[in-house]
Chain A
């Protein structure tokens, strides 16, 4: 297991390397000189030159890359072009709402999608099955931000049940914390739910045709036992894989959802950075999100042993 873990980590290194190169080049190929942006509209050429030297932009590109990788290894993501504060510090300040939203969405999606998918597979071809598939196709087609505004309009403006926007930390009270997360979670979770429900149904349908399920049914086990302990466990590997792959949807969605619900998280940081053309923040956030995506998929790979003992490392 340990050897496998190390091997998997090593296998993600080239991908991570590519991400670092890409993020590094992104700023270099971009039109517009970061130093000039930083210096402002009324800067003298000497001023711009000084800032360029300060950022290390006057050095040859391979040296710049080496310096960039070096600082990354030390955990230094650079400095915001506008506020001049370390990017890692800005990210640390904004990470809590994003983590809270991502985790609640993950839980929401798994808790709704898996039962729906199981139900649909168990009663394949029935009305229930069709209803689930309609939800699945619909969930794929509804834009997150539109769903977000529909929910705000319905539950906050018309019914006045939940807060419109904003974020309250769990340290300030667990009830307002949850209240503020409900609508964003549903808006963001819909796509994920649709994806997972679809794959749960497909995976379970395949398993339900196997001989050991017929045996389990024949020996008089309760349908629930057959479904959840025998079938679902064997259908789990594709489902868990999809949780990992779908994490990319979640990351993209987080940026939009935070914007709709005015959550002060990493997504907001990204959007503000886009508007201010703050390259270093965009670089830092892209790196963090890509690394977390790789990490989640690494964990997914590790979890296979839990569901299928035949997978031995």
Chain B
């Protein structure tokens, strides 16, 4: 190798080194941005999936709703127990009425206030949702209800699906009487289409208090929110958890809410 060739090669190598550094850095930047955009897109896809379930469920579109689950996906509604696989989920939903709902029925289950957290690897996600419920059936008075969804999602072949949909009914009442005077209790497991598993968490709805564990971490402190204070249930034998029992006074604000 002549001195001249060596010089040329050295120059080229040097140049390549200079060129490579910013190009690689920019490439890294781009792939980091791509991942951040993908996480935002995944969150939106999960939000749309859940909202779609809500729109199907409202109108008794059980066949369509069952298709939103993975092959081992599960549905759990209140204290009805756990139904696993789309075929059984479809059966469970028939307990709410026929496909397409019966005349005079209102089955609105609004899916609102999402906090969806996509795992950094982009394969799974969790979501807490506010479930507002408005029900009607022929020859019955209307009902108000509310509850919390804590769901799990999986991305399969680029498509987000429900791995687990769990609706914790919080409170249900008669439209005219309201929560000040009346509370409707949850239904238990069906004898007609028994669930695959009993309820995963046994609790009673309003006037009893139950706290479905938050799936996400505290947005500021990053703390896990699984064991926050909750009043116990004497019938179920569940003790108070983390409650400060020394202060039992009725609040001025609570007093102000009623005339």
A, B co-complexed? no
